[in-house]
């Protein structure tokens, strides 16, 4: 059987796609014994068969966990990093042995001591001024908030699995999320969660502004050409623009928008600029530069504290979300 498995593993690097697919299907059908044969491919930096080997292990699912754990505890040492990565890809943090979980927690604590966060993503985010973490957690009904590096928080809330379906003890099903709260930058904290904000941004802004007096939402979708920026105060919409909204504009222009508006009597009247700002500012990042902070500039802003990663249900811990996180 070992020779058969070795031949199929070799076939994962075949040029022909159908040949690779057939090998993957046969390896998955053989179950857990194939994992030890796949690990050398998983440990390659950029091997031709690495992605196919990873696909095999993911399809094996829970059956791959014990073989991967054995490599973590018994070696060989050169394959331990690959085994760790695949464990969290297959089963999340819950798949790790206690020693590995403790090691990750220690590494996060060490990294927090001298973390230098880079600039943050500018796809979709909420900005809250002068807010304590506990107030953001309370407003959004978050749970199990844990200190994390900015790299880990961004990775967890944006780049890896950040939502999942959860069945409660009473049989009801809900979608639960991971949410990242950044350190404070020049008095502002940003809130990230790719799936969370996509599904809940309007409610999040309303709840945060009720608890923290003010909250902004910004989104830039280059693929669909969509732009959104929204300001709420004390639970009420104050000003907003949505590219595809109905209505497109909400509320009266803010002071910074009125300053940009022109009429024909202005000495520096520019027809193109007057048309661009006739109804207000459309670009979310431009609006953010006037009334909050831009994620792409936080590297040069004053920072206080560290980030926090939380979940939306007390029944769903961090360990159920899958994917290897940056630290």
The number of folded domains in the chain is: 2
Identify the band that residue 3 occupies on the pLDDT scale cut at 50, 70 and 90. low
Same domain, 45 and 140: no
Q: Are residues 43 and 133 in the same domain?
A: no
Same-domain status, 314 and 191? yes
Same domain, residue pair 296 and 149: yes
Tens of pLDDT, residue by residue over 50-95, are 888 888 889 888 999 998 999 888 878 888 888 898 999 999 999 9
Which of residues 69, 91, 113 is at a domain's end? 91
Does the residue 65 lie in any domain?
Answer: yes
Residue pLDDT, tens place only, 151-192: 999 999 999 999 999 998 888 999 999 999 999 999 999 999
Indicate if 34 and 173 belong to the same structural domain: no
User: What is the average per-residue pLDDT within 245-268?
Assistant: 86
Nearest-angstrom CA–CA distance, 270 and 291: 24
Q: What pLDDT is recorded for position 267?
A: 65
Whether residues 254 and 309 fall in one domain: yes
Q: What confidence tier does 47 reach under pLDDT thresholds 50, 70, 90?
A: low
Query: Are both 249 and 139 inside the same structural domain?
Result: yes
Please report the pLDDT score of residue 46 as a whole number: 66
| Best CA proximity match to 62, nearest among 104, 91, 26, 92 | 91
User: Is 314 in the same domain as 218?
Assistant: yes
The band of 126, judged by pLDDT with boundaries at 50, 70 and 90, is very high
What is the residue range of 30's domain?
A: 2-91
Q: 217 and 135: one domain?
A: yes
Of 36, 70, 91, the position where a domain reaches its end is 91
Q: What does residue 278 show for φ and ψ, rounded to 5 degrees?
A: -60, -40
Which of 66, 91, 116 finishes a domain?
A: 91
What pLDDT score was predicted for residue 185?
96
Share of the chain above pLDDT 90, in %: 61
* Average pLDDT estimate for 4-14: 79
Are 28 and 135 contained in the same domain?
Answer: no
Rounded CA separation 309/145 (Å): 5
């Amino acid at each position: 059987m070992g020779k058969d498995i070795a031949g199929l593993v070799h076939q994962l690097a075949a040029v022909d796609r159908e040949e690779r697919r057939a090998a993957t299907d046969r390896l998955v059908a053989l179950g857990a014994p194939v994992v030890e044969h796949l690990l050398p491919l998983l440990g390659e930096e950029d091997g031709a068969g690495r992605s196919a080997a990873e696909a095999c292990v993911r399809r094996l699912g829970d059956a791959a966990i014990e073989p991967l754990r054995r490599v973590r505890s018994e070696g060989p040492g050169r394959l331990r990093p690959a085994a760790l990565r695949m464990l969290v890809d297959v089963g999340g943090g819950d798949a790790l042995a206690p020693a590995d979980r403790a090691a990750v927690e220690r590494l996060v604590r060490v990294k927090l001591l001298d973390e230098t966060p880079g600039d943050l993503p500018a796809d979709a985010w909420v900005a809250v001024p002068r807010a304590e973490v506990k107030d953001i957690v309370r407003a959004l009904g978050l749970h199990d908030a844990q200190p994390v590096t900015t790299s880990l928080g961004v990775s967890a809330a944006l780049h890896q699995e950040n939502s999942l379906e959860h069945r409660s003890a009473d049989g009801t099903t809900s979608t639960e999320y991971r949410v990242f709260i950044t350190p404070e930058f020049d008095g502002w904290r940003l809130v990230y969660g790719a799936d969370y904000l996509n599904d809940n941004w309007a409610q999040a802004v309303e709840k945060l502004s009720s608890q923290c007096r003010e909250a902004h939402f910004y989104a830039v979708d280059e693929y669909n050409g969509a732009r959104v920026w929204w300001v709420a105060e004390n639970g009420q919409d104050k000003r907003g623009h949505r590219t595809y909204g109905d209505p497109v504009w909400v509320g009266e222009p803010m002071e910074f928008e009125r300053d940009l508006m022109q009429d024909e009597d202005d000495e520096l009247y520019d027809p193109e600029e007057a048309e661009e700002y006739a109804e207000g500012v459309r670009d979310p990042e431009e609006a953010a530069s006037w009334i909050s902070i831009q994620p792409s500039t936080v590297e040069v802003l004053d920072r206080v504290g560290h980030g926090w990663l939380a979940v939306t249900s007390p029944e769903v811990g961090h360990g159920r979300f899958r994917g290897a996180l940056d630290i």
